[in-house]
Every structure is written in structure tokens, then in C-alpha cells.
A and B are shown apart, each in its own frame.
Chain A
Amino acid sequence: QVQLQESGPGLVKPSETLSLNCSVSGDSISGYWSWIRQPAGKRLEWIGRVDTSGRTDYNPSLRSRLTMSVDTSRNQFSLRLTSATAADTAVYYCARGSGSRPFDYWGQGILITVS
């Protein structure tokens, strides 16, 4: 059974960098992995995807501030979002899948507050 677990600071100060990790168990980290977020009361928003070759695709709305990477040796992937603002406050999910193919496994989500 594939399991994903997000980790990171629950609170980020405005203008600082939001950094999250996603640890994957039950599967080798191959293929595409994605980040998705949901601000309170709003719809899910696809942030971007990374594959184990390092290829990335980002949501254009976040591209200038976003970096995703994969660490195959630790079976985890990560997200860095610079210049955080209150608008980045959301529950962040990591998920297996490219988006072109469905997100078939998700983490439980982690609430990140920018304040």
C-alpha cells in the first residue's frame, strides 16, 4: 500500500520561503509526483509536478516562485515556494500522479499558515 506523508513548518512568515517534503512509502519513487493545495473554502489547485528525472511542470500562477525536486535516495520529493504571502495559506497535499494520469494516492494534507 502506497503511503504519502507531508512534512513542514505549520507557520511561515510573509516574504519567507515555504518548504515542504513528501515522504513516500510502499513504492519506489518513480514516475511523476504532484503537489496540490486547497485554501479554506476554495477549490483544489494543482501546484505542479516533478518526475524522477527532474522534469517539472508548474502552474503558471506560481511558476516564478516555485521549485520542485525529487530525492530518490530518500524516497521523497519536495516543494519550495518563495516570497510567501497570506494567499499561500492552504492545506497542501502531495500526490502520486502527473495530472495527465490521475492522482491515485494522496497524503493526508498539511495546513500551512502564512502569517
Chain B
Amino acid sequence: DIQMTQSPSSLSASVGDRVTISCRPSQNIRSYLTWYQHKPGSAPKLLISAASSLQSGVPTRFSGSGSGTDFTLTISSLQPEDFATYYCQQSFSLPFTFGPGTKVDIK
């Protein structure tokens, strides 16, 4: 199985801050990387697929980059509704695997 790591595991930030989250798979997954946002009690929300393709309706302050074994999710200016846990997921090979999550909370 492809192991996924994320860093940091959690971070505290203020509204307006720029936030970056790293995701590293244990092997080259080309651009087969998806990002999700998850708030407690809610369904996870698809943000970005294919490493950098923003889903329809997702604010443009979210962006994704990277390929191979190094990926980044960036929130350019954190908004109150962005406080959540963010997960990456590889779609390169079965079984699909997720990162452990990065919890973004209010400083």
C-alpha cells in the first residue's frame, strides 16, 4: 500500500493568514492526488483533484501543487469557514489511501 504522510498534523492560524499543508506519498504517484476538507459532523468536501484542479464552487483561495512524492495545499487567505481538517488521498493505485489529516484551528 502507498503510505501517505501530512505535515503539520495541526496548525493554529489567524483569519487572513496564508496556510500551507504538505502531503508526501511513499512512492511516486504522478499527479494522482486529491484534497478534501472535513468539518466535524459534516460530509467531507472535495476541494482539489489531480493535484491542482480546483473543483467547481471551491473558492480560488484554495490551490494545490506538486507531483510525484511532494504535494502542497495552500490557502492564500484563511477565512473563518476554512477551519477544518484537511486530508490528502492518493488515487494512483489500489487500495486508495488517505493521509492522517491536518487540523487547522483558530489561533
Contacts and interface: CB of A to CB of B under 8 A. Distances in A.
B91 A44 contact: no
A43 B95 contact: no
Nearest to A63: B95
Nearest to B93: A100
A44 B97 CA distance: 8
Contact of B44 (A46, A100, A106): A106
Given A45-B98, A108-B42, A101 B91 contact: yes
Contacts of B49: 101-102
| Interface size range on A against B | 20 to 34
A59 interface: yes
Given A104-B46, A108-B42, A108-B43, A43 B96 contact: no
**Majority-rule SS of A interface residues:** loop
B105 to A, nearest CB: 16
A102 B46 contact: yes
Nearest to B94: A57
A43 B98 CA distance: 7
Contacts of A26: none
Interface of B: 32, 34, 36, 41-46, 49, 55, 87, 89, 91, 94-101
20 contacts: A44-B89, A44-B101, A46-B89, A46-B96, A46-B97, A59-B95, A95-B44, A99-B94, A100-B32, A100-B96, A101-B91, A102-B34, A102-B89, A102-B91, A103-B36, A103-B44, A103-B89, A104-B46, A106-B43, A108-B42
Given A43-B100, A44-B44, A61-B95, 10 more contacts: A43-B98, A57-B94, A99-B91, A101-B91, A102-B55, A102-B91, A103-B36, A103-B44, A106-B45, A108-B42
